[in-house]
Amino acid sequence: MATLAPGVQTGPYHAVLDHIHPEPTSFIRKYIFSIDHKIIGIQYMITGAVFFIISGLLAEIIRTQLLTPNGLLVRPDTYNSIYSMHGSSMVWFVVIPLLTGAFGNFVMPLQIGARDVAFPWLNLVAFWIFPVAGVILFSSFLVGAPDAGWTEYPPISLMGPPGTNLWCIAVFMIGISSTMTGINFLVTILKMRAPGMTLTRMPLFVWAQFATTPLSFIATTALGGALAALFIERVFGVPFYDPKRGGSPLLWQHMFWFYSHPAVYIMIIPGFGIISEVLPTFARKPIFGYKMIAFSSVAIALLSFSVWAHHMFTSGMVPWLQLPFMIITMLIAIPTGVKIFSWMATLWGGAIRWKTPALYAAGFIITFTYGGLTGFFLAAVPLDYHEHGTYFVVAHLHYVLYGGSIMSLFAGAYYWWPKMSGRMYNETLGRIQFWMVFIGFNCTFTPLHWLGLLGMPRRVPNYDPSYQFWNVFASVSSYVMALGTLLFFYILVDSFRNGKKAGPNPWGARTLEWMIASPPPYYNFKKIPAVLAAPYDFGNPLPYIGLDAADGAVEATPTHSSHPVPTH
């Protein structure tokens, strides 16, 4: 049993790994400008949560405006700014920072048995760019916020209010932050795994972060170039995009989507990773098809670079180019389908404990499948001619971004909350919260598909009176969703005040982060553990040795003889 698997190094290598830095003592170095990946992860989480609340409020203004055909609340130009800021903030300041910055930072180093990321100072800089960029973005409301949608297509964005310049700066900055994090994580995952953790013994969340990193630092450069050109054209009048002066509006669209389609996968692949952690833990089963799930993430990441022009089927590119983009887009359905089926097979034959994270994971399977299928309707070029630029697109993108990314964020938040805070949350309230969000979400966005097909374009502050019923239905449902989100924050506060102590491994999970105290000590692992086997074999004893009981580990050394059992 206790023999080391091939590739496990011991001896001098281990001695180097066992060097531990002292913990900083000043408040500022400990909690503000910390280089500890766990603190940085929590900083990302808090900052992202603030932007999530602001963006959610903007979304509710949008839905309230659409209660009446002529617009209930705000003037059309204000409305344009509000949905533009909602989209920009949700994409760049909520979903991406929460999935990679927050969960990636907090969980990934723990899961690979590292004491920190490869470049802690770079991590510190990458984080602090984020709130500064966020403040710059939202300060554009003071001078006239951007109003041409989160895509800011020129020429209209060239004429937009001054805040559009701030938008360029803020998104450019967050792109730098994202690039830094991508490189940091890539090196961390390649170089800092515990001895014995081969690539195919990595938890799937780590695989997901790994597949995301090249997207972060390759695609983001294209966006940076496009943003710089837009800024230079707006401020210094160099004509990149203005057709009247020799520029090309399509240039922006190509550059923007060359980033923003891979960005869709920056926003979903880590979510896939969260679902792949939650399902085996609560089904108490090995994940079904580990390698297929891991490799399909990489396949999706690679394919995502060659599908961007499916956002531009009606824009006026060379017609024959539409076909390869359509076919490659459709191909992405295959690795995605493999994942969905593998998750369903993980549920099959399980001993499923329907805790809140598991409910969110199952809800994710359903809503994300829905979003994937409507994606197929948009990929088929002839159908896209009808659907492009309508509420069908709005509904589709919210099914994959809310029903996919945000649902997985909720799953991850409930799943790792005990590890982060050391306390359990109220399970009953958690389940109620899930059903409020799940039902509210589906009732908000399903009718929008129909409205789009019937003739409601996106980005309008008013609409034909015949669409009012389903708009009101969607708006009222969105209020249920908003209440569910408020309840989520109440649950977290309640957990701090009344939550039971979580203990190191409340869910009986098998990955490394659950083998140490909750919350983890500053150095994570007193001794770097050696990894002997794959992460999700609940029928086998724990696959790790070398964990120290002094860290509050589940079992004292040797640990490989016992099974994890849920304590909550």
Partner 1 sequence: MAQRLVKPKTNLGPGFWPVTAFIVVLSLVMAYFIETSAEPIGLKAAGDPAGSIDALFRFLGVVAAAIFNAVVIYTVYFGIVFRMPKNAPPNTIGVQIHDAPVLEFWWTAIPTILVVILAIYSTKIWVDLQNTQGDVLTVEAIGYQFGFAFRYPKLKEPVVNELHLQLNEPTTIHITSRDVLHGFWLPEFRQKADMVPGLVNTIRITPNAVGEFRIICSEFCGAAHGRMIGKVVVQNQQDFARWFSKQGGTQGRTGGGIAISAGKADAGQKLFGEKCSACHSVGAFEQKQVGPGLGKLFNDPAHPKLVNGTDVTPQDVARLIHDGFQGDMGVMPSAQVNALSNADIANLVAYLAGLSKK
The interface with partner 1 within residues 151-210 (CB under 8 A) comprises 153, 155-156, 159
Nearer to partner 1 by Cβ, of 20 and 292: the residue is 292
Q: Which stretch binds partner 1 (CB under 8 A): 32-40, 166-174, 455-463, 466-474?
A: 455-463
H or E element: which one contains 530?
Answer: strand 530-531
In the region spanning residues 334 to 353, those forming contacts with partner 1, defined by CB under 8 A, are 334, 337-338, 340-342, 344-345, 347-353
Q: Which residue has the tokens 């640990």?
A: 559
Minimal CA–CA distance to 174: which of 122, 232, 223, 234?
Answer: 223
Candidates 206, 326, 487, 554: give the one binding partner 1 (CB under 8 A).
326
Q: Strand pairing partners for 423? A: 501
In the region spanning residues 487 to 516, those forming contacts with partner 1, defined by CB under 8 A, are 508
Candidates 64, 68, 306, 315: give the one binding partner 1 (CB under 8 A).
315
Nearer to partner 1 by Cβ, of 198 and 561: the residue is 561
Distance CA 533, CA 5 (A): 8
For 524, the 3-state DSSP assignment is coil
- Which residues fall within 8 angstroms of residue 459, CB to CB, at 6 or more apart? 80, 83, 149
Angle, helices 427-454/468-498, rounded to nearest 10 degrees: 160
In the region spanning residues 62 to 121, those forming contacts with partner 1, defined by CB under 8 A, are 76-77, 80
For residue 457, the 8-state DSSP code is B
Question: Nearest 10 degrees: CA dihedral of 364, 365, 368, 371?
Answer: -130
Q: In whole angstroms, how close is the CB of 547 to partner 1 at the nearest point?
A: 16
Distance CA 171, CA 260 (A): 12
Q: Which stretch binds partner 1 (CB under 8 A): 321-329, 395-403, 433-441, 545-553?
A: 321-329
Nearer to partner 1 by Cβ, of 223 and 347: the residue is 347
Q: In whole angstroms, how close is the CB of 193 to partner 1 at the nearest point?
A: 21
Angle, helices 290-303/204-214, rounded to nearest 10 degrees: 10
Candidates 236, 246, 318, 497: give the one binding partner 1 (CB under 8 A).
246
For residue 361, how many C-alpha atoms fall within 13 Å in the half-sphere facing its CB? 30
Minimal CA–CA distance to 203: which of 517, 515, 555, 522?
Answer: 515
Residue 148 binds to partner 1 (criterion: CB under 8 A): yes
- Which residues fall within 8 angstroms of residue 388, CB to CB, at 6 or more apart? 313, 314, 378
Q: In whole angstroms, how close is the CB of 160 to partner 1 at the nearest point?
A: 10
Distance CA 149, CA 423 (A): 41
In the region spanning residues 262 to 301, those forming contacts with partner 1, defined by CB under 8 A, are 283-286, 288-292
Q: Strand pairing partners for 531? A: 544
Q: Which stretch binds partner 1 (CB under 8 A): 28-36, 179-187, 451-459, 512-520?
A: 451-459
Candidates 142, 190, 327, 550: give the one binding partner 1 (CB under 8 A).
327
Candidates 181, 188, 216, 390: give the one binding partner 1 (CB under 8 A).
390
Candidates 144, 457, 503, 521: give the one binding partner 1 (CB under 8 A).
457
Kindly write down the DSSP assignment for every residue of 359-370, as one continuous string.
Answer: HHHHHHHHHHHH
Candidates 541, 544, 545, 554: give the one binding partner 1 (CB under 8 A).
541
Candidates 175, 249, 273, 403: give the one binding partner 1 (CB under 8 A).
249
Candidates 7, 237, 243, 465: give the one binding partner 1 (CB under 8 A).
243
Q: Which stretch binds partner 1 (CB under 8 A): 55-63, 107-115, 329-337, 492-500?
A: 329-337
For residue 304, the 8-state DSSP code is G
Candidates 56, 113, 461, 520: give the one binding partner 1 (CB under 8 A).
461
Q: Which stretch binds partner 1 (CB under 8 A): 128-136, 239-247, 428-436, 437-445?
A: 239-247
For the window 2-41, what string marks contact with partner 1 as x by the rule CB under 8 A?
----------------------------------------
The residue type found at 535 is P
Nearer to partner 1 by Cβ, of 101 and 280: the residue is 280
Q: In whole angstroms, how close is the CB of 419 to partner 1 at the nearest point?
A: 19
Kindly write down the DSSP assignment for every residue of 126-183, as one continuous string.
Answer: HHHHHHHHHHHHHHHHHH----STTTT-TTGGGSS-THHHHHHHHHHHHHHHHHHHHH
Q: Which stretch binds partner 1 (CB under 8 A): 263-271, 308-316, 427-435, 470-478?
A: 308-316
What's the distance, CA 379 to chain centroid?
Answer: 23
Q: In whole angstroms, how close is the CB of 265 to partner 1 at the nearest point?
A: 18
Candidates 24, 120, 149, 214: give the one binding partner 1 (CB under 8 A).
149
Distance CA 266, CA 249 (A): 26
